[in-house]
Amino acid sequence: MSSQLTAPAAIVLAAGQGTRMRSRIPKVLHPLAGRAMIDHVLDSLAMAGVGRPVVVTGHGADAVEAAVGSRATTVRQEPQRGTADAVRIGLESLTNDVATVLVTMGDAPLQPAELYRELLDRQRATGAPVVLLTARMPDPSGYGRIVRRADGSAEAVVEEADADAAVRAIDEINVGTYAFDAGWLRVSLGRVAASASGEYYLTDLVALGAADGRPAAIVESADAEDAIGINDRVALAAAEERLRRRIAERHMRDGVTIVDPSTTRIDAGVEIGQDARIEPWTILEGDSVIAQDAVIGPNAHVRDSRIGPRTRVWASVVEESSVAEDVQIGPYAHLRPGSQIGPRCRIGNFAEIKRSSLGAGTQQHHFSYIGDAQVGENVNIGAGSVTANFDGTAKHRTVVGDDVKLGVDTMMVAPVTIGEGATTGAGSVVTRDVAPGKTVVGVPARPIELRRRHKPAPDGAPAAEATPLPSAPDRNP
Ligand code: UD1
Ligand code: CA
C-alpha cells in the first residue's frame, strides 16, 4: 500500500494570540536557548522523521511565516475559530496519500522527537482513530481533562468551561498533541459542532470517536513539564532552564567538561569538541563552534564564533570572529565582528579588535585598539597602540607587515602601511607608509635616519648618534 510508504505528516497549530504572554511579539517567536520557540518544535519534528510540516498561522502571521521560512509550509487561519478549524485548514495542504497526521502546538518546544514517534507508533499499532498525549498535573486548571473508560481508552476530553466539579478534579490533562488516522480525521472534522463560545474544539473528536465505538488511545507523558505548552513568561523561563540543562547534558555526555552547568548558557546551535572545558559564568551563543581542548571562561561570552583547539578565552567577549589554535585571549578582551586571529596569538587585557586579521604569533597584550587592519605574523603591538581608522566620514585600512614592532602608544593614522620588520618608537604617530625594516619615531613619525641628518654635530665631534628612541618597543612576553 502506498499509504504505508508515505511519511507521517505534521500540523503545527500557531494561530492563537498567546494572550498570557502579554507581548507584542507572537508567542511562538519568543526566543528559547537562542532560537525561536517554533524552531525547537520544527527541530523535534524533523528528528521524528515526519514529512515537511504545515504551520497554521494567524496572529502575527507575517512575522511567523518569515521566521519559519522554508522549514515548513504555512497556511493562514483567518479568523481563528478554534483548534478543529485550524486542523481542517492545515489538512488542506496535505496530499491524500498521507495515512497518519501528527498535530501539535507551536508553543510546546520541549517535546522530544521520541514523544512524537511514540504517538505515531501507537497509532499505527492500535489503529486508533486518534492517540492523545496526556499529562498528570498538580494543578490541572485551564486544561481539557481526560475522561477515561474502564479499559483505559478515552471517553472524552472535557474543556474546563464545560467541566463539572467531578471532571475538574481529574488531574490528567490533554496536552494538545495528537497522532490521527488521517482518513478518519478528514471525515470526522466535518462533524464537529460549534461550542457555546463559537469555537470548534478539536477535542470534540474524542467523544465522537468513542460514540462510534472507536475510542482514542492514550500516551501518558513520563515528563509533564517537557510535554506541555508555554503560556506565560514564567513558563518561558522554566522552559529555558530545562532546555539549557538538556543541552549541557548532551555536551557532557559527548565529552565536554562543563564545570558549573547552572551558570553556563549554551545555545542549541553551538558545537563543542571533545575535552573542551567550559568554566563557570560562560555564555556560548548562536552558531559558535568550540574546538577540542579549548578552555572557555570563566566569564566568557562567545557569539557566532569559531574558537580553535587548545585556545583559551578568559573573561572576554568574542563576536562573529574566528580564532585559531593555541591562542590566549583575555582577561577583558573584546573581539568584535570580523576578527580573525592566527595561531599562538596573545590578546591581552583591554585589547579591542574589529574587522581585522592578526597573523600567527602576534601579541597584543595591553589596552589597545586594532580596527580595519591586516596585521602580519609575529608582530608585537605595544601597549596603548591604536589604529586611527576613522577620519570622521569613512573607515580606512591599516596594514602591518610580519615581524613589526609597534612601540607603546603607536598611533596608526589609516590608510597606512607599516612594512615588514619595521619598528615604531613609543608615542609615534604614523601618518605615512613605513618602508620594510625602517624605524620611525615622533609626531608625525619620521624615519630615524632623517632625524640624524637634521641633528647638527657638535664642534669637532664625529657625526652624532641617532636620537635615541624614546623607549624600546614594548616586548612584554
Ligand atoms: C487546547 C485544548 C485543551 C488542552 C490545551 C493544552 C482544544 C479545544 N482544547 O486548549 O484540551 O488542554 O489546548 O494547551 O483544543 N490555535 C490555533 N487556532 C485557533 C485556536 C488555537 O491555531 O483557532 C492554536 C494555538 O495557537 C495553540 C493551540 O492551538 O498553539 C492551542 O490553543 P490554546 O488556545 O492555547 O488552547 P485551548 O483552546 O485553551
Ligand atoms: Ca482557546
Residue-wise DSSP of 318-355: EES-EE-TT-EE-SS-EE-TT-EE-TT-EEEEEEEEES
| Contact between 373 and 356 (Cβ < 8 Å) | yes
Ligand with minimal distance to 17 CA: 1
H or E segment and range at residue 68: helix 61-68
Q: What helix, strand, coil percent values describe the chain, rounded to 5?
A: 25, 30, 45
- Residue 323: which CATH number? 2.160.10.10
- Phi, then psi, of 36 in degrees rounded to 5: -65, 145
**Buried residues in 67-103 as b, exposed as e (16+ CB within 10 A):** bbeebbbbbebeebbbbbbbbbbbbebbeeebbbbbb
- What is the 82 CA–ligand 2 centroid distance (Å)? 6
Range of the domain at 405: 251-447
- What is the 176 CA–ligand 1 centroid distance (Å)? 7
| Cell triple for 324 | 585559531
- Closest atom, ligand 1, to C-alpha of 79: 23
197 and 294 co-located in one domain: no
- Closest atom, ligand 1, to C-alpha of 143: 12
- What is the 122 CA–ligand 2 centroid distance (Å)? 27
221 and 367 co-located in one domain: no
169 and 21 co-located in one domain: yes
164 and 303 co-located in one domain: no
Instruction: Write out the chain's pLDDT in tens, 477 residues.
Output: 444 568 999 999 999 999 999 999 999 999 999 999 999 999 999 999 999 999 999 999 999 999 999 999 999 999 999 999 999 999 999 999 999 999 999 999 999 999 999 999 999 999 999 999 999 999 999 999 999 999 999 999 999 999 999 999 999 999 999 999 999 999 999 999 999 999 999 999 999 999 999 999 999 999 999 999 999 999 999 999 999 999 999 999 999 999 999 999 999 999 999 999 999 999 999 999 999 999 999 999 999 999 999 999 999 999 999 999 999 999 999 999 999 999 999 999 999 999 999 999 999 999 999 999 999 999 999 999 999 999 999 999 999 999 999 999 999 999 999 999 999 999 999 999 999 999 999 999 999 975 555 555 555 555 444 454 554 444 444
CA–CA gap between residue 17 and residue 21 (Å, rounded)? 9
- Beta strand 357-358 with 380-381 is unpaired
β-sheet bridge partners, residue 13: 56, 105
Tell me if 201 CB under 6 Å of ligand 1: yes
191 and 331 co-located in one domain: no
Residue 237 lies in a domain: no
Residue 455 lies in a domain: no
281 and 195 co-located in one domain: no
* pLDDT value of position 337: 98
Name the residue among 337, 319, 321, 469 with its Cα closest to residue 409: 469
Q: Is 366 a catalytic residue?
A: yes
Residue 241 lies in a domain: no
CA–CA gap between residue 265 and residue 279 (Å, rounded)? 11
Residue 475 lies in a domain: no
For atom 25 of ligand 1, which residue has the closest CA?
16
* pLDDT value of position 475: 47
Tell me if 26 CB under 6 Å of ligand 1: no
- Closest atom, ligand 1, to C-alpha of 200: 8
Tell me if 172 CB under 6 Å of ligand 1: no
411 and 325 co-located in one domain: yes
- What is the 208 CA–ligand 2 centroid distance (Å)? 20
Most informative mutation of 78, 80, 83 for ligand 1 (most atoms within 8 A of CB)? 83
56 and 198 co-located in one domain: yes
Domain tally, the chain? 2
Residue 122 lies in a domain: yes
Angle formed at CA 224 by CA 223 and CA 228, multiple of 5 degrees = 130
Residue 459 lies in a domain: no
205 and 259 co-located in one domain: no
Residue 363 lies in a domain: yes
199 and 281 co-located in one domain: no
* pLDDT value of position 457: 52
- Residue 47: which CATH number? 3.90.550.10
324 and 407 co-located in one domain: yes
Name the residue among 100, 125, 108, 109 with its Cα closest to residue 49: 100
pTM: 0.88
274 and 209 co-located in one domain: no
CA 467 to chain centroid: 56
